[in-house]
Amino acid sequence: MDFELSEEVRSFRETVRRWVDAEVPKSWSRELERDEHNYPFALWDKFTEAGFHGIGIDEKYGGQGGDVIMQMTLARELARSLGGLAWIWGITSFAGGKSIGIYGSEEQKQRFLPPIARGELRAAIAFTEPGGGTDVLGALRTNAVRGDGGWILSGEKIWSSSSHVADYLLVLARTDKNVEKQHHGVSLFFVPATQKGIKITPLPKLGMRSIGSCTVNFDEVFVSDADVLGEPGRAWYMLLPTLNNERIMVAAFCAGVIDGVLEDALDYMKQRKAFGKPIGQFQVLQHYVADIATWRQQVELMLFYTASLQSAGKECGMESSMLKVFASDSAVKAADLGIQILGGMGYSAETDMQRYWRDARLWQIGPITNEMARNGIAERLGLPRSF
């Protein structure tokens, strides 16, 4: 097995790394993250200028191209400095570029992908129900019924990140209640966020503050047939291929967080002195950074192995779940040790360790809880379903 990245990916990684250091340093990331009431449009614009919104979108639609490995390389390098703010790129990449690129019609691809690639269209995901969490299908109450030339959408979603600044919302709704199984009769809509009947309310939260997460209420919102993605009633079958991609993306962000944690921990241990010597000489702290470096190596190997499977079109459901669980658990543990290494400064908003921890903590919960992901892994290993 070849563990080496291609020359193209290595060159791209170094280019993005230099760009991150020059354009989005950690000091600026801290400033952006502090104010949860102001979405960082300046960061979005920097991504636009760099062409990052076009990564993963076919060149014939104005994109930069690039497979899953290239997208995950970008995600990792962005998260090294930005932490959870990297989701500003990731949300539209998944909700717009990836989703429409996979199951949108040719007309929809021509209509939506070029403006996404140019950074002119922001999208948000509206899947989670207030009483549902990971139980997306079991708790699905948002519904759409047939209207004249389209559908009438009603219901409520929660934890829809960046929906307050989105142009379009990717919405999962039930369109047929008379079904044998929960995953039947659900449809996907790409809904204009300014449509009459939509009310979006921001939610305060622990991390990823300036991205903004919201509740979204749909009160008899009209959605035209042109904005239905794929075949009505078969949304779950369409979504399944993208779930692995989302979990791989989360793991790439986690890898970037671990990169940032290790970088900051080593710098601090070389500079900070206590009891007459650099704290980098203390054995227990050396063990901490050795553990962090080991977790990073494991996450990296799992990440690129799973991304290579996805890129080759191979089944990787169990591998992507394992990767997401291990990467998010490792990122949280690494950031927690990073706080311990920096002591009081690790708890301070003047450094990045607390920001890494707050952002990474969400990835143990979403887009699927690590407990549910473990249930799925066990079921794939032949054990009975536990939920």
Say which CATH number the domain at 337 has. 1.20.140.10
* Domain assignment of residue 342, yes or no: yes
Residue percentage of the chain with pLDDT more than 70 = 99
Based on the domain organization, do 214 and 240 belong to the same domain? no
How high is the pLDDT of residue 201? 97
Instruction: Characterise 213 by phi-psi region: left (phi > 0), alpha (psi -120 to 50), beta (else).
Output: beta
Based on the domain organization, do 116 and 129 belong to the same domain? no
What mean pLDDT comes out for the span 319-335?
98
- Measured between alpha carbons, how far is 366 from 370 in angstroms, rounded to an integer? 8
Q: What CATH number is given to the structural domain containing 38?
A: 1.10.540.10
Based on the domain organization, do 376 and 240 belong to the same domain? yes
How high is the pLDDT of residue 140? 93
Q: What CATH number is given to the structural domain containing 167?
A: 2.40.110.10
What mean pLDDT comes out for the span 289-304?
98
* Domain assignment of residue 211, yes or no: yes
Q: How confident is the model at residue 1 (pLDDT cuts 50, 70, 90)?
A: low
Based on the domain organization, do 111 and 129 belong to the same domain? no
If one counts the domains in the chain, the total is 3
Based on the domain organization, do 229 and 281 belong to the same domain? no
How high is the pLDDT of residue 82? 98
Based on the domain organization, do 279 and 309 belong to the same domain? yes
* Domain assignment of residue 1, yes or no: no
The domain in which residue 169 lies consists of 124-234
Based on the domain organization, do 35 and 101 belong to the same domain? yes
Given a cut of 80, whether residue 340 has pLDDT beyond it is yes
For 297, residues 6+ apart whose C-beta sits below 8 A from its C-beta are none
pTM attached to this predicted model: 0.95
To the nearest whole number, what is the mean pLDDT of the chain? 95
Given a cut of 90, whether residue 240 has pLDDT beyond it is no
Based on the domain organization, do 89 and 163 belong to the same domain? no
The burial of 140, by beta-carbon neighbours within 10 Å (0-12 exposed, 13-18 middle, 19 or more buried), is given as: buried
| pLDDT per residue as tens digits for the range 118-135 | 999 999 999 999 988 888
Of 234, 266, 292, the residue at which a domain comes to its end is 234
Given a cut of 70, whether residue 367 has pLDDT beyond it is yes
For 252, residues 6+ apart whose C-beta sits below 8 A from its C-beta are 71, 72, 73, 75, 76, 79, 303, 307
Based on the domain organization, do 111 and 199 belong to the same domain? no
DSSP H helical segments within 35-174, as ranges?
41-50, 68-82, 87-92, 99-103, 106-117
Based on the domain organization, do 243 and 372 belong to the same domain? yes
* Domain assignment of residue 386, yes or no: no
Based on the domain organization, do 118 and 139 belong to the same domain? no
Length of the chain: 387
Based on the domain organization, do 345 and 254 belong to the same domain? yes
Decide: 83 and 26 in contact? Cβ < 8 Å: no
- Measured between alpha carbons, how far is 343 from 308 in angstroms, rounded to an integer? 39
What mean pLDDT comes out for the span 276-294?
97
